């Protein structure tokens, strides 16, 4: 990084991302590769009505459960791989945030599977935190617009899926349990 350039902290990145998302009141939010659950907690603290966290690493289970216990709304935790979760998905979310480990090689395949799954309905936003060196597919994802924001040596991609025809573009407020 060039001299004089300040590397944004994860806290600054998180603040910026949630500022870009706007009002989460009543929305549903999915945090995939949840780790400690800080993104899920942020979504809940910003008004998301239904929040789910997916984490496979058993070493992170205790911290994740302790952190989500502080949430103003219940955060449902699923301890399975991201791939299995996506394969079994039955409900749509307004926002899906993916923060895979940077060496994870299957992020674009996973994102394509999410885009084709019931997890994403019209009006949904899917976010991917990735290293700057990992370039998105040129084709993008059908039905989605794409915007990237750089944060130091990482990037957050925003994939926004078009709302169904005749709607105002507001997020779909989904309810119920995930499957």
Out of 2-11, 71-80, 156-165, least confident range: 2-11
Contact in structure between 56 and 83 (CB atoms under 8 Å): no
At 122 the pLDDT is 80
Helices 38-45 and 61-68, interaxial angle, to 10°? 10
Classify domain 10-150 by CATH architecture.
3-Layer(aba) Sandwich (3.40)
At 7 the pLDDT is 45
Q: How many CB atoms lie within 10 A of CB 5?
A: 8
DSSP string, 98-147: E---TT-TTHHHHHHHHHTSTTEEEEEEEEEEEETTSPPPTT--TTEEEE
At 169 the pLDDT is 47
Whether the predicted pLDDT of 157 surpasses 90: yes
Query: What is the 8-class DSSP label of residue 91?
Result: S
Q: Can you tell me the distance from the alpha carbon of 166 to that of 178, in angstroms, rounded to the nearest whole number? A: 27
Whether the predicted pLDDT of 125 surpasses 50: yes
Give residues with Cβ within 8 angstroms of 140, minimum separation 6: 146, 159
Give residues with Cβ within 8 angstroms of 153, minimum separation 6: 1, 7, 131, 132
Mean pLDDT of the region 30-53:
96
Q: Is 89 helix (H, G, I), strand (E, B) or coil?
A: coil
Give tens-digit pLDDT for 7-24.
456 788 899 999 999 999
Whether the predicted pLDDT of 1 surpasses 90: no
Give tens-digit pLDDT for 161-172.
887 655 454 444
Give residues with Cβ within 8 angstroms of 30, minimum separation 6: 51, 52, 54, 93, 95, 96, 97, 119
Out of 12-26, 47-61, 100-114, 131-145, least confident range: 131-145
Give tens-digit pLDDT for 128-147.
999 999 988 887 777 889 99
Angle at CA of residue 68, ends 49 and 61, nearest 5°: 130
At 166 the pLDDT is 53
Whether the predicted pLDDT of 87 surpasses 80: yes
Whether the predicted pLDDT of 60 surpasses 70: yes
At 104 the pLDDT is 94
């Amino acid at each position: 990084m060039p001299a004089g350039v300040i590397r944004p902290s994860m806290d600054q990145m998180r603040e910026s991302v949630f500022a870009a998302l706007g009002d989460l009141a009543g929305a549903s939010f999915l945090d995939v590769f949840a780790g400690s659950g800080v993104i899920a907690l942020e979504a809940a603290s910003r008004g998301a009505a239904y929040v789910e966290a997916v984490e496979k690493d058993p070493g992170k289970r205790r911290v994740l459960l302790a952190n989500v216990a502080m949430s103003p709304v219940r955060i449902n935790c699923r301890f399975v791989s991201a791939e299995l979760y996506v394969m079994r998905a039955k409900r749509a979310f307004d926002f899906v945030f993916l923060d895979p480990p940077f060496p994870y090689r299957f992020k674009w395949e996973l994102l394509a599977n999410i885009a084709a799954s019931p997890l994403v309905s019209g009006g949904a936003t899917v976010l991917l935190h990735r290293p700057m060196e990992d370039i998105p597919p040129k084709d993008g994802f059908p039905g989605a617009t794409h915007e990237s924001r750089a944060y130091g040596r990482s990037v957050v991609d925003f994939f926004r899926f078009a709302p169904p025809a005749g709607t105002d573009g507001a997020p779909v407020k989904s309810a119920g349990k995930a499957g």
